[in-house]
Amino acid sequence: MSQSSVDFPPKGGFSFDLCKRNDMLTQKGLKAPSFLKTGTTIVGLIFQDGVILGADTRATEGPIVADKNCEKIHYMAPNIYCCGAGTAADTEAVTDMVSSQLRLHRYQTGRDSRVITALTLLKKHLFSYQGHVSAALVLGGVDISGPHLHTIYPHGSTDTLPFATMGSGSLAAMSVFEAKYKEGLTRDEGIKLVAEAICSGIFNDLGSGSNVDICVITKGHKEYLRNYMEPNPRTYISSKGYTFTKKTEVLLTKITPLSERVKVVEVAGEAMEE
């Protein structure tokens, strides 16, 4: 007997099918797994020649530090970078997705991407998910119409600002910016101020820590300074190094230099941007 309903093609987008089942389980007492959040300090500021973005490098899973040195400044286009706070998977996925959309758009138009394009693509996506995609972003870049800096909230609202902070350490970083920002900063002053703001987040906020990453974008040029500052080095390292316990019996030692087995070829040209 044939079904009376028409067969619809599968729709794209997020499938909310399991939400009712998850709700029922939480009501019965099951604790939902916590997300890997980046509990972060991310900042951006506009200086006289362009934009400087900064971020800390700690990723937390509840009270535990899951990654001591993660990368929170994501590549969007050669002239646009985006810092992400919130759920790590969401920031990574959404910036990756918009980055590839921008690339396809560049091939089609033959022009450099504009920051406002990235902004519109991101806010459209986030708004359509009504805040469930938990990504709070600081988007900065320099395009044909000048330097731009925007913040994007998980629900899809945006702000255009001369200096911005997001994440759990945003208040600590914002207090540094509000006290010390002025217009027409030089590149060195700007980097110093961004590093200071991130350090303020690292030392005063528990969700942020480890190192400072900085990205400087100017017209036609970008500099990604990974681990620009490492204010939390390992303090005590044993000078003796690691030794096996005395009772371990060494049966055989055989060392094969890898260069005899494998040929290493230098690839000239554009390596992977990330």
Partner 1 sequence: MTFTIPIDNGDAVKNAEADSQRTLYPYVTGTSIVAIKYKDGVLMASDMGGSYGSTLRYKNIERIKAIGKHSLLGASGEISDFQEILRYLDELILNDNMWDDGNSLGPKEVHNYLTRVMYNRRNKFNPLWNTLVLGGVKKGKSYLGMVSMIGVSFEDNHVATGFGNHLARPILRDEWHADLSFEDGVKLLEKCMRVLLYRDRSAINKFQIAKITEEGVTISQPYSLTTFWEFQAFHNPTAGAQGSW
Query: Taking the CB of residue 231, how many other CB atoms lie within 10 A of it?
Result: 13
* Closest CB 58 distance from partner 1, rounded Å: 17
Helix (H) or strand (E) holding 97: helix 88-109
Q: What is the size of the binding site for partner 1 (CB under 8 A)?
A: 25
Q: Minimal CA–CA distance to 141: which of 54, 77, 225? A: 77
Distance CA 215, CA 193 (A): 13
**C-alpha–C-alpha distance, residues 204 and 158, integer Å:** 26
Positions 109 through 148 that interact with partner 1 (CB under 8 A): 115-116, 119, 123, 145-146, 148
Closest contact distance (angstroms) between CB of 151 and partner 1 is 11
Strand partners, 159: 151
Token pair 């990723």 in the structure block, residue: 59
Q: Which of residues 176-235 bind partner 1 (CB under 8 A)?
A: 176, 178-179, 183, 200, 203-204
- 77 near partner 1, rule: CB under 8 A: no
Please identify which of the residues 26, 38, 40, 87 carries the catalytic annotation. Answer: 40
The answer to whether residue 40 is catalytic is yes
**For partner 1, which is the closer residue by CB, 88 or 210?**
210
Q: Residue 3 or 145: which CB sits closer to partner 1? A: 145
Question: Which of 160/227 has CB closer to partner 1?
Answer: 160
Enter the tokens of residue 27: 């009501």
Contact letters for partner 1, residues 167-186 (x by CB under 8 A): ----xx-xxx-xx---x---
DSSP E strands, 87-220: 135-143, 146-152, 158-160, 163-166, 212-218
Nearer to partner 1, 88 or 136 (CB): 136
What letter does residue 30 receive in the DSSP assignment?
A: P
Distances from the Cα of 191 to the Cα of 27, 99, 198, 220, angstroms: 49, 25, 11, 18
Does 80 engage in binding with partner 1 (CB under 8 A)? no
46 belongs to the binding site for partner 1 (CB under 8 A): yes
Shortest distance, position 234 Cβ to partner 1, whole Å: 23
Sheet with 146-152, side-by-side order of all strands? 73-77, 80-86, 135-143, 146-152, 158-160
Which CB sits closer to partner 1, 88 or 98? 98
Q: Strands of 79-220 (E only): list them.
A: 80-86, 135-143, 146-152, 158-160, 163-166, 212-218
Shortest Å distance, C-beta 24 to partner 1: 32
Q: Which is nearer to partner 1, 114 or 222 (CB)?
A: 114
Q: Which of residues 141-170 bind partner 1 (CB under 8 A)?
A: 145-146, 148, 150, 158-162
Q: Would you give the end-to-end CA distance of the chain in angstroms?
A: 55
Q: How far is the CB of 78 from partner 1 (least distance, A)?
A: 18
Active-site residue set: 40
Under the rule (CB under 8 A), what is the footprint of partner 1? 46, 115-116, 119, 123, 145-146, 148, 150, 158-162, 171-172, 174-176, 178-179, 183, 200, 203-204
